Amino acid sequence: MEFGLSKCAKATFKRGKLRNTKNIVLDDDSIIKELDQEGTYKYLGVNEAIPVVTYSFNIINWNLSELQRLDSEIRKQFTCNRMLHPKSDVDRLYLPRSKGGQFAARANNVDVDTQARHQWFPNILHNGADPKCRFCEDKVETIDHIVSGCSILIPGECKSRHDRVGQYLHWNICNHFSIKTHSNWYEHHPEPVTEGETVTILWDFSIHTDRTIQANRPDIVIKDKKNNLCFLIDMIVPSDRNVSAKTFEKLAKYKDLEIEIEKMWHFKSRTIPEVIGALGLIKKGAKEYLEMIPGNPSLQEIQKIVLNSNTHVSRRALTI
C-alpha cells in the first residue's frame, strides 16, 4: 500500500497558536510539508471531526442528549487546546465565518442529509480508488445506490425484494379470507387470480376498463364482494429519502383506476401504497395503510424482509 504523500501536510499548534516548524523528511524522496498559513487541508480537519460520527447515523440510534453531550465534549477540547475561550458565546461557535463565527460542525444538527450519510460506503465496499458503482459504472457506489438506485441491480435484485414483500402480504390476505396456503409465507407463491368464497385476489394482473387507463396493474387487487370494497395495493421499496414522495406518487397514480372501478363494479375502492424505505424507513401514517390490508401483516416482518434482501444484494456486491 502506498500513501499519497503529495497530498499530506502538517500543521503545528503550540498553546492554540499555529507555529512554523520544519518539514518532516521521511526519506530522500518524500517530505511532509508545512501547511501554508492560508492553506486548508481538504481531507481531515476540524470540519471533518463531526462527519466521522455521522458514519454511524442510521446504524446507531443517537438520541438528542447524547449528541448534545458530544457537542459539549468537543467544546471542552477546544477550550483545553486554547481554541475557544471558556466564556465565549456557544452559538457564535457554530455561526459561519462570514458572520463572525468559527463554523464548527455540530453533532446536534437534526437536519442531516441522508444521502451524505452513506457517502462513506464506497471505500468500504470498493477497495479500489474508483468510487463509481461496479455494476452500472455510472453513479457513485454508496449503500443507498446499491440497495435502491442502481439501474443494473434494480431489475433483478430489487424486483425480487419487492416481490418478497408482495408474497408476504398476499399470504396474509389469503389467510384472512380462509384460502388454503402454506404454513410459511416464503413457501407461498401467489397466482395471478385467487378465488375465495367472498373474495377475488389479483396478483400483478391488468384490470380492463372501458376507458383506457395507463396505470391499471397494481401489485395486488382485493375484490371483497361481501363488503363491496376494492383495495388496490401497490408496493415499492425506494431509497429512504424518497419514501414520502413515492407514497403520494402511488396515491395519485391509481386515482383514475379507483374511479373506473367504482363505475364498473359499484365497489368502493381505495389505493393502499405500501412504501418501505430500502433501509427500513417508513413515512408517518404508513402504519395506518398497513392496518387496512386484511390479515394483519406486521410492519416489523416487512422491514425484516427488506433488510434481509439488502444483505443479499450487498453480499453480492462485496464479492464482485
- Binding region for Zn ion (CB under 5 A): 133, 135-136, 150
- Residue 241, judged by CB atoms within 10 A of its CB (0-12, 13-18, 19+), counts as middle
Q: Which is nearer to Zn ion, 149 or 190 (CB)?
A: 149
Q: Which helix (H) or strand (E) holds 221?
A: strand 220-224
Shortest distance, position 291 Cβ to Zn ion, whole Å: 35
Shortest distance, position 136 Cβ to Zn ion, whole Å: 3
Q: How far is CA 298 from the centre of its chain?
A: 20
Shortest distance, position 152 Cβ to Zn ion, whole Å: 6
Q: Which is nearer to Zn ion, 46 or 136 (CB)?
A: 136
Shortest distance, position 134 Cβ to Zn ion, whole Å: 8
Q: Which is nearer to Zn ion, 150 or 261 (CB)?
A: 150
Q: How far apart are CA 295 and CA 46, in angstroms?
A: 53
* Cell of residue 238, nine digits: 425506494
Half-sphere exposure of 158 (CA within 13 A, CB side): 21
Q: How far apart are CA 205 and CA 133, in angstroms?
A: 34
Shortest distance, position 138 Cβ to Zn ion, whole Å: 6
Shortest distance, position 114 Cβ to Zn ion, whole Å: 18
Shortest distance, position 156 Cβ to Zn ion, whole Å: 12
Residue among 192, 199, 167, 146 nearest 316 (CA) = 146
Q: Which is nearer to Zn ion, 12 or 151 (CB)?
A: 151
Q: Which is nearer to Zn ion, 134 or 176 (CB)?
A: 134
Shortest distance, position 306 Cβ to Zn ion, whole Å: 19
Q: Helices 46-54 & 64-80, crossing angle to 10 degrees? A: 160
Q: Which is nearer to Zn ion, 148 or 247 (CB)?
A: 148
* Cell of residue 39, nine digits: 492553506
Q: Which is nearer to Zn ion, 103 or 120 (CB)?
A: 120
Q: Which is nearer to Zn ion, 6 or 311 (CB)?
A: 311
Q: How far apart are CA 35 and CA 41, in angstroms?
A: 8
